[in-house]
Structure 1
């Protein structure tokens, strides 16, 4: 791949930011804030989170301007890459948090009283029955992830599919399980 050098004005702005010129950072913000915010909104689908990511991107540039190398590409592309990575990290973190909050409740009940244990065992039985009703592709993915403790990547490798496909199957399986269990009031 042939490196794409940054335009002259990107280089000048970068040099001014490296020199501590906060007006240069303001110019960078004015030029790229809408792009960064829009990208973060598209990925996270959350305007408040997108605002935070936008601030983080420009703060990163202000605190570590030498991390940007104008010889490797445009400032626009570099800032957009940082924003995209942060947004994806946020989405992944939220997904893990959501899944982990479902996991113990659905698959590993921790009863405090005997009757809670009986109810939890009944719920676990219903969940396992609902899992058996899933199509093979979805059932295998969710069993590997939740009963086997595998990551999305490991599920994909074991099933011979891309990681994104494994994620989609797991999400679809969880959605179907939630619908089925809601009908049974579990």
Structure 2
């Protein structure tokens, strides 16, 4: 049975299919806060989130028939598109950040063997991190390799900030113990 939102969605959808810009405006006014909140939660950047919202509504305006009112509501459909685009944006940014990050430390100004020793030490640290328990490793990777603050890592993991700090401290202690055994 169709509820009021479903009926409104069908009417607005048909109006948009017919080229009614006012219908798109009504839909935008009604769903903008939801779509923005979803994009903002994923990207953590208001400017990027606003761009994603604009893309979502422009896409709907350009291809309104891609929405099927028999399969769900416009609210859930637009929210899904916004979430996917936001995740795509974050993944793309992460790939670009990873591609720009040097694989080896910058060459030292000293003798070449210092650079080799630094690369060897970095490899040992990476191995020690890879041997940490999953939840500890994840916190370390977000904070140190992902460049997240404790608060950002906690939000991303859905955990209290204190828990993430404890996991990072525990991980750093285990890494230090392992490296000291290897005399690094």
Task: Give the TM-score of the pair, scaled to structure 1.
Answer: 0.65
Q: Does 1:45 find its partner at 2:44?
A: yes
Residue of structure 2 in register with 1:144 after alignment: none
CA contact (8 A) 2:67 2:74 kept: yes
Q: Does 1:134 find its partner at 2:133?
A: no
Equivalences for 1:161-172 in 2 at 5 Å? 169=137, 172=140
* 1:60-111 deviation line (CA, Å, top 9, x unaligned): 00010000000000000000000000011111111222223225245xx7x7
TM-align CA RMSD? 3.4
Q: Does 1:25 find its partner at 2:24?
A: yes
Find the aligned partners of 2:96 and 2:111 in 1 and give their Cα distance: 24
CA contact (8 A) 1:36 1:54 kept: yes
Going from structure 1 to structure 2, the CA distance change for 1:176 and 1:18 (only over 3 Å counts) comes to closer
Find the aligned partners of 1:136 and 1:169 in 2 and give their Cα distance: 8
Unaligned stretches of 5+ residues in structure 1: 139-164, 181-186
Q: Does 1:12 find its partner at 2:7?
A: no
Selected match of 1:123 from 118, 122, 138: 118
Of stretches 115-124 and 53-62 in structure 1, the one that deviates more from structure 2 is 115-124
Unaligned stretches of 5+ residues in structure 2: 148-167, 173-184
Going from structure 1 to structure 2, the CA distance change for 1:77 and 1:123 (only over 3 Å counts) comes to same
Q: Could you tell me how far 1:120 is from its partner in structure 2?
A: 3.8
How many residues align structurally?
A: 147
Of stretches 127-136 and 15-24 in structure 1, the one that deviates more from structure 2 is 127-136
